[in-house]
Structure 1
Amino acid sequence: MKATAAVLEQLNQPLVLSEVDIPDPGPTEVRVRLTATGVCGSDLHVLDGTIPFATPSVVGHEGAGIVEAIGAAVTSVAVGDKVGLIAPSCGHCDPCLNGHQFTCADSSLKWGRVRSDGTPAITRNGEGLAARFLGQSTFATHTLVEERTVLKAPAEVPDEVLAPLGCGVVTGAGAVLRVLKPQPGESLVILGAGPVGLSALMAAVNTAAAQIIMVDVSEPRLELARELGASAVVNGKQTEDLVATIKELTGGGANMVLETTAVPALLQQATQMLPSRLGRLGIVGAPGPDAVFSWPTIPLVMSAAQINGVVMGDGNAAFVQGLMELYLAGRFPVDRLVQTYSFDDINKALAAAASGQAIKPVITF
């Protein structure tokens, strides 16, 4: 069928709206008419070449929409269902079988660029485009995905809220609720008030953590953090010694620190913000492939600290369903992060994400 996609023709160039063709679903596939898609940092990193992906290509991976067609073996959704798109997974590797679906071991589902049978998921004038970006490629009016990439959603969840749940939001929320797991009376420092950091904050508010501190350099974002429930906020630009400030606020060090900024120097500081015993560090931000940080071995061992790399919030389908329920209960106000753009303005949305003008740009169709 005919569709319209925003095609990346060359790196560091604006996306170009182009007519494309979407195949009929195979036995385990679902064709979705997109109603919304978020813009994520990973999309920006493809556009500038930081994340290798072939061109011409169609990226995007925070989708919401309506099921238009299903394959013969599909049972979890039906034509007409409202769905959110989530990270692809094989369903039979160790992570999938043990509740860690979003860290599936089959990397081809995220980066393979074609369908499981090797044929293109999107063509233009008979030529295949690189697609299935993170299993989705949602910068288009329609997409063809595997069944395990769709999640039926309540009609009451707005499209612009549903779309970002599948990546940026679940990453932040899962980092707190599934990885760091705040205990009663503990303190949490979140470095970076972007969509991941603010999602982490909204999740933390639903725990028994006694102290939630947000660190950023943007006063408007710090004010939003206050409104969303932060116990305290710290402007990194206006703080002479960030580590000392955090230790003073937490009485010697934060039980947990979540690093979302991908700034190596800030990650190094994060290691020093923990207490002398049993601190937990969650690392979400992904700087360049050569970036490193250090931690002296004896202090690390003697403090019994935990270092946690966080991929997609260690999420799974059930966890995303839970976030939908929290939103509907008024306890997880994702809509406060969202700014919507039309599909025709997709390049404006990308620019707003890159500049920080918008926290979570969402394109609506």
Structure 2
Amino acid sequence: MLKTIAAVVKNAKAPFELVEIELPDPGPREVLIRIVGVGICHTDLASRDGLLGAPFPSIFGHEGSGVVEKTGSQVTKLEPGDHVVLSPDSDGTCRHCQRGFPMYCDQYPELNFQTNPEGPRASVLNGGRTYLKYFGQSSFAGYALASDRNAIKVTKDVPLKILGPLGCGVQTGAGTVMNGLRPHAGSTMVVLGTGAVGLSAIMGALICGCSDIIAVSRTPDRLELAKTLGASDTINTNEETDLAAAIRARLPAGADYILDAAGAPGLIGPAIGGLGKLGTLALVAVPPTVDRTIELPWFPTLLQGQSVSGFVEGNSIPEVFIPQMIELYRLGRFPFDKLLQFYPFDKINQAVEDQIAGKVVKAILELSTA
């Protein structure tokens, strides 16, 4: 058993409360991680607000980076002292995992969204228990338990505290482009939304050689940031209200790809009018509610051979893609650190408030040093 501080949410829409908990010892295939930094993701906040079915009380957090402190008896690929980035968990045995698609694991809801009411929990030292292993980690805490599948060993020559978002938000945006869409050089892409996911998609599109990369947002500062990261043009939806026309003004044949990282129904419908023949609409952002639907122009979509695809975590194999992103960062080709702002762990509610208000792109909570 290990005592540590964790940010617990007691009820839907309640604030994060720092309390002392007692973690169980690692199981045979588990590792104990001392968390150095953890990003705040939109999905954490959607779960906090009760939108994704997570139970309460619960410890969220799923963009953790840290140091291995202890390993279970059957863990062979990690050892104490290793630096790791934590990603979503998967069972490794289902047909999707076996085909190289761990983000579509048959056990994904149970392993990542705590859907099992009998799932792992920690004791709260002032009384009660709290659910654990959100996205296989629950890294809003000084220490976290992860599995040997979702703790990804990384190099020690890059600051560990910046790496957590590579496990989710950055991986989702860049991976959707680089692993999912795989655009050929000279393709055109429109990215809806300039949060961490959208800006990471822009960086991924630049790496893939897209000739036109258009960022869509209503925030001028974010559009300027998008330009520094690879956007060739921008659309401010406060100034250009006909999104399809704005896209066609820049890309008369329409875009080869439109990637939604905004999750705003009012953007997706109009944007489809800017999609070109054989174009793909990539759905990435979590919708406002799980039952939200989108409507497609039936005949034009059919006639132009267009497709709509969803992407979870960028269709990534984290053990492969996270080290690739780190190497691109080291080469100066993937400056994801420009998205980050750091906060002490005890300022978690302030960090959440600032991120929701758009004052920061990606808030990182600092817990310890490597």
Q: TM-score range by the shorter chain?
A: over 0.9
Name the structure 2 match of 1:343. Answer: 345
Q: Aligned Cα RMSD in Å?
A: 1.5
Taking the aligned partners of 1:132 and 1:312, their CA distance within structure 2 comes to: 18
Instruction: Classify 1:301/1:257 alpha carbon distance in 2 versus 1 (closer, same or farther; 3 Å).
Output: same
String of CA shifts for 1:251-289, please: whole Å, max 9, x gaps: 2211110011111121112221111x2111101122212
CA distance in 1, matches of 2:88, 2:38: 14
Distance 1:114 1:80, change over 3 A: farther
SS of residue matched to 1:238: coil
TM-score, with length taken from structure 1: 0.96
Question: Does 1:283 pair with 2:278?
Answer: no
Corresponding residue for residue 273 of structure 1: 274
Equivalents in 1 of 2:180, 2:307: separation in Å?
11
Structure 1, 262-271 or 69-78: larger mean CA deviation: 262-271
Q: 1:114-169: CA deviations, max 9, x gaps?
A: 79xx5634221374311211111011000111111100011122223210000100
Q: Which residue of 2 aligns with 1:137?
A: 138
> In 2, are the aligned partners of 1:114 and 1:121 still within 8 Å (CA)?
no
Gapped regions of structure 1 (runs ≥ 5): none
Cα contact 2:6–2:140 (8 A) shared by 1: yes
Aligned match of 1:315: 316
Aligned partners of 1:160 and 1:201: how far apart in 2?
23
- Offset at residue 113 of structure 1 (A): 6.3
Helix, strand or coil at the partner of 2:235: strand
**Normalization by structure 2: what TM-score?**
0.94
Aligned partner of 1:284: which letter?
V
Q: Which moved more, 1:262-271 or 1:216-225?
A: 262-271
**How far did 1:211 drift?**
0.6
CA distance in 2, matches of 1:142, 1:351: 24
Amino acid at match of 2:131: A
Matched residue, 1:330: 332
Q: Is the 8 A contact 2:52 2:290 kept in 1?
A: no
* Counterparts of 2:296 and 2:111, CA distance in 1: 34
8 Å CA contact 1:160–1:335 kept in 2: the answer is: no
Q: 3-state SS of the aligned residue for 1:335? A: helix
Q: Deviation per CA, 1:214-258: give whole Å up to 9, x if none.
A: 010111111111111211011111113221110110122111100
Q: Structure 2 CA distance, aligned partners of 1:122 and 1:315?
A: 30
Query: Is there any run of 5+ residues in structure 2 with no aligned partner, and where?
Result: none
Amino acid at match of 2:307: Q
Instruction: Give secondary structure in 2 for the equivalent of 1:251.
Output: coil
Give 1:85-96 correspondences, 5 Å limit: 85-96=86-97
Q: Would you say the 8 A contact 2:53–2:113 is kept in 1?
A: no
Structure 2 CA distance for aligned equivalents of residues 71 and 114 of structure 1:
22
On the 8 A contact 1:114/1:131 being kept in 2, the answer is no
Which stretch shifts more, 138-147 or 92-101? 92-101
Identify the residue that residue 123 of structure 2 maps to in structure 1: 123
Whole-angstrom CA distance in 2 between matches of 1:337 and 1:270: 25
CA contact (8 A) 1:8 1:55 kept: yes
Native 8 Å contact 1:156 1:328 kept in 2: no
Alignment of 1:357 onto 2:355 = no
Q: Deviations over 1:319-349 (max 9, x none)?
A: 1221111111111111100000001111111
Q: Give the Cα separation in 1 of the matches to 2:102 and 2:115.
A: 20
Superposition pairs for residues 63-82 of structure 1, below 5 Å?
A: 63-82=64-83
CA distance in 2 between partners of 1:113 and 1:4 (Å): 24
Q: Which residue of 1 aligns with 2:24?
A: 23
Change (3 A) 1:42 1:190: same
Partner of 2:186: 185
User: CA distance change for structure 1 residues 299 and 143 in 2, over 3 Å: closer, same or farther?
Assistant: same
Whichever residue aligns with residue 360 of structure 1, its letter is K
Moved more, 216-225 or 121-130: 121-130
Quote the sequence identity (%): 38
1:160/1:219 CA distance change after superposition, 3 Å: farther
Is this contact kept in 2: 1:90–1:104, CA < 8 A?
Answer: yes
Alignment partner of 2:131: what SS? Answer: coil
The amino acid of 2:336's aligned partner reads: V
State the one-letter code of the partner of 1:261: A
> Secondary structure of 1:95's partner?
helix
Q: Distance in 1 between matches of 2:165 and 2:174?
A: 12
Contact 2:33 2:144 in 1 (8 A): yes
Contact 1:257 1:274 in 2 (8 A): yes
| Conserved 8 A contact 2:55-2:114 | no
> Distance in 2 between the 1:70 and 1:109 partners?
19
Structure 1 position 170, deviation (Å): 0.5
